[in-house]
Amino acid sequence: MVPPMLGALTVPPAEDDVARAAARVSDGALRDATVARWPRAHDHHGYLLTARDGCEYLFKAARMRHAGRMRRYVHVAGMLKESGVPHPALRWYDMDKDTLAVPYLIQDFLRGQDLGSVGTELSFTDQHRVGTKLAAAFRALHQIEYIDTPTSWATEFDDRFRTRVAECFVLDAIDKAAVERIVGYYDARRGALAEVPRRLSHDDPSAENIIVERGADGWQFVALVDFERARGRDPLLDLARLRATTFAAWPAMAGPFNAAYGVLEPYGPDLRARAELYDLYVPLAAIAHFRENERPDREEEARARLREWIGRS
């Protein structure tokens, strides 16, 4: 049995409806803009808008039936701009569904490639260059204090961790014996989460959300994208996701990233215990997330990482 939350998806709006909505919300600036589906969008319905002056914009309509993440991004975008975090500028939005049946936002379109599509083209030198700039972006992001709930991080993570374990059991990713081992591992380290300060975290720093561009000297980091899931969390969780995804694919990127990122204070106590918990949590959370978003390839990758962890433990 699959939990009921794993299927509440919206219908992608038609191109004509997108064109009319964009023209209205932009007060005519996008009147007569051409609209084309953007197939690389996964968490949203994506469309590429090309205005009469040639400027390009990315139209992102909510794929899930709640608008919470997109609403949060409207607030987060201002903080990203103020702190100099490289990201596509937010131009227009409609969270109240006045012009479409789903909430949407319009931001600058970046002409680079997402890191996931670059593959083996990224040389050792490219990895060093990208890793260094990527670290600067995350350091700027993680310096932003962001408390979006009165709940302590320890309490929130406890709920999230146990929920993800339950979801993975329902999805047959783990059996009862694995549940007991995982929960026991967590209980032995959960004290390290006490008094951890909240900082703004991306929450999905996968290669698909890192934009790069090829220049005369090789691949260059351009910006981070898809901040709709950003919240006030422990920044170490972002680093755990980077280790599980980006650095697993491009290991030469990890060293220069760590050197440029440095130590961000205050992180709170027991860094190692928290890092170990997050390395376990990342595949647990990814399994349900990619099932919900109909990404069987990514779901299987997460299952493989979890099986590897169980085998090691």
Q: How far apart are CA 183 and CA 126, in angstroms?
A: 40
Q: How far apart are CA 131 and CA 255, in angstroms?
A: 8
DSSP 228: T
What pLDDT is recorded for position 3? Answer: 43
Q: What is the mean pLDDT of residues 223-243?
A: 93
Contact 190, 154 (CB under 8 A): yes
Q: What is the percent of the chain with per-residue pLDDT over 70, rounded to a whole number?
A: 94
What pLDDT is recorded for position 40? Answer: 81
SS3 call for 34: strand
What pLDDT is recorded for position 8? Answer: 59
- Interval 60-101: pLDDT, tens: 998 876 667 788 889 999 999 999 999 999 999 999 888 998
The continuous run of DSSP H or E covering 277 comes out as helix 271-292
Domains and CATH numbers, the chain: 15-108 (3.30.200.20), 113-312 (3.90.1200.10)
Q: What's the whole-model pTM score?
A: 0.87
Mean pLDDT, all residues of the chain: 91
What pLDDT is recorded for position 248? Answer: 92
